[in-house]
Amino acid sequence: MPASCSPRDDKLPTKHDDIHQSESVSRHCAEWNYYGQGPSKWHEQYPVAKGQRQSPIDISTDKVEFDQTLSDNPLKVSYSNNCCQSVTNTGASFQVAVDGARAGTEISGGPLDSTYKLVQFHAHWGHGGNEGSEHTVNGVTYPAELHLVHWNTKYKDVTEAVDKPDGLAVIGIFFTMGEEHAGFKPITDLFSTVPRKTDKVDMKFKFDPACLLPAERDYWTYLGSLTTPPLHESVTWIVMKDPVEVSAEQLGALRSLLWETPSGEGQMCNNYRPPQPLQGRLVRASYTEEARIEDIIPAVILGALAIGVGTILTVSMIRTKRWL
């Protein structure tokens, strides 16, 4: 039976433990992973792990700067429902592959100087509770974080773009536990068909990745890196402010995926990198709290007016009936 999820231990296995590992597991442990040679040890194989623009980061909201240009030039997301091809268990997450040759895979505007095409999306999650997101906000974590990965079309393809300073753009979306996400359900329903590393299933239904975005498109942006090796410092991060609700069952579906561990097959969890030093980088916001309040107040007033009018009409009808 696969080992269940438990809090992560980033300590390296001892030599004694190595002796009792199978050959296949030993080979796997020589690669990067989230246990044993976990994130705290990645710099030994990938020195850039201690670089100047590593991700994820903790977003301190009292230190972000509102950038009017982000508001004046809104982020444009042009996805379609016929771009997703397959779901694969990569051994570190699930990954939905996207056909970039099709129309409806682009984002532009906001912090981006050119058009970027969606190539894949995946997620990171914890073993339970609110632990699991890679980015944090004022030190607060979420149960999971979705990453929509795009490449800059000024380059020939994603392979050429992946290590360029402006090569990639990733939209990060926090998942919080709540109601079932109807849009995400067709994806999580496929996880039972890809339980193990390299398992792959074709998507025989239409799926629009835009359904995973929050209703409000306010975001933070900064220059960072991939959060997994090779950790290229090539990412313009766009982290959505508002989380998206998914159900406990959908979070459980994420944790039902399997991966290889030093002790054998186990439930996939804690596949996240902790926040890295900001190193003086600027984090910009596409919104101000004042603007958000200004947007909310009219809706609240309209709601109150509607309730008031409804109450008046009800009272009026009751009084009228008394005279009939």
pLDDT in tens, 185-225: 999 999 999 999 999 999 999 999 999 999 999 999 999 99
pLDDT tens for residues 161-178?
Answer: 999 999 999 999 999 999
Give pLDDT, residue 101: 80
Tell me the C-alpha distance between 241 and 210, whole Å: 16
For residue 70, what pLDDT is reported?
98
The CA–CA distances, whole Å, from 279 to 55, 57, 85, 143, 172 equal 11, 10, 38, 26, 20
Residue 94 has what DSSP assignment? E
Q: Report the candidate in 177, 242, 184 with the shortest Cα–Cα distance to residue 208.
A: 184
Q: Tens of pLDDT along 226-276?
A: 999 999 999 999 999 999 999 999 999 999 999 998 889 999 999 999 999
Sign of torsion over alpha carbons 248, 257, 226, 128: positive
Give the largest Cα separation in the chain, rounded.
92
Rounded CA-CA distance 141/174 in Å is 9
Question: What confidence tens digit (pLDDT) does each residue in 15-46 have?
Answer: 323 222 223 323 333 489 998 779 999 999 99
Compute CA distances 232 → 144, 168, 249, 300, whole Å: 22, 10, 34, 45
DSSP bridge partners of 94: 89
Higher pLDDT, 323 or 93: 93
Q: Is the dihedral of CA 182, 188, 190, 192 positive or negative?
A: negative
Residue 247 has a pLDDT of 98
pLDDT value at residue 303: 58
The Cα–Cα gap between 56 and 322 comes to 66
- pLDDT of 118 above 50: yes
Residue pLDDT, tens place only, 305-322: 555 555 554 545 545 444
